[in-house]
Amino acid sequence: MTAAAYTSNRSSGLRDFIPRLPAGVWSLSGFSLLWFGGIVLPLLAIIVVSFLQGRGLKINFDPTILQYKRFFSYGGGEMLARSVRIAGTVTMIELLLAFPFALWLAKGCKNNTVRLLTFTALTVPFFLSPAARVIVWRSVFGINGVVNQILLGVGIVDEPVLWLIFSEFSVHFGFIGAFFPTMVWPIFLSVSLIDNDFLEASGDLGASRLRTLLHIILPLALPGIVAGFVFTFIPMLGDAVVASHMGGNNVLMLAAQVQSLIGVSNFLVAAALAAVVLAIMLAFQVLLWLALKPVGGLAGVFASLRR
């Protein structure tokens, strides 16, 4: 008996039943299984629970749409529309602010010290608690805050401006500061990966700076823009800190609504809310797919990274 045959004959028991597949396939299957068990199953469970009846921790299995009716009758529709509107608006503002900043950081800034300091400035806020990051704005925009003191001192207003805090304005402002780094980082990385030769070639061929920006930089930076959009918009929808601290609960948003439902053990309506949010996310996926179709879909966008 050869050594190979001996080794082969030693294989027995459970191993005989496991298909002999390449390691990559096993990894893929493992991740798929984890993803299904850790992400898909809980989401399916939430959807199922949203169609049940019960109170607190006691649930009975009679299908109903009562929880959806309740959610919308208590102003849930307005809250969702408000959350999406605010998160969408701020994400667009972030994009307009972050793109030129990231472009400068990646291609314009030649001084490594300045770049390092900028990196630090973008990272430091993440070491603070989310509340600490926004609470400081209260003393700036409050009734006796710095801005009101200046406005009153200069004589622009006779009385303190109240809408600077505990309003939609202050919620927008709080989000802009808190989520700026999440938009900058992905765009910075994708712009950094653009080969300088492309930019120089574009200039050598007579393209203006604007034309180079629109036809070279922007398409190649698209993966970062898409990633920045995802990393900014979605966490913002789930943020409970800014709307509460800056909006004073005058501007109820998604996360605060979930907390409120959980706080009184209203898990079924919370599940209905989660299911509605899931539907909105799916709708956004479709919109994103349609929007990116002209450039070859999501695969086309990320193709630039394979250069």
Q: Which residues bind another protein (CB under 8 A)?
A: 55-57, 70, 74-76, 78-79, 135, 138-139, 142-145, 162, 165-166, 195, 244, 248-250, 252, 256-257, 259-266, 269, 307
14 or 57, CB closer to another protein? 57
Q: Which residues of 217-234 are buried (b: 16+ CB within 10 A; e: fewer)?
A: beebbbbbbbbbbebbbe
In DSSP notation, 49-95 reads: HTT-EEETTEEE----SHHHHHHHHTTHHHHHHHHHHHHHHHHHHHH
CB of 18 to another protein, least distance (A): 27
CB of 192 to another protein, least distance (A): 9
Please give the backbone phi and psi of residue 82, each rounded to the nearest 5 degrees, phi first.
-65, -45
CB of 164 to another protein, least distance (A): 11
217 or 246, CB closer to another protein? 246
The neighbouring-strand residues paired with 72 are: none
221 or 229, CB closer to another protein? 221
CB of 266 to another protein, least distance (A): 5
81 or 92, CB closer to another protein? 81
CB of 147 to another protein, least distance (A): 13
CA 233 → CA 83, 179, 286, distances in Å? 10, 9, 16
165 or 226, CB closer to another protein? 165
* End-to-end Cα, the chain, rounded Å: 51
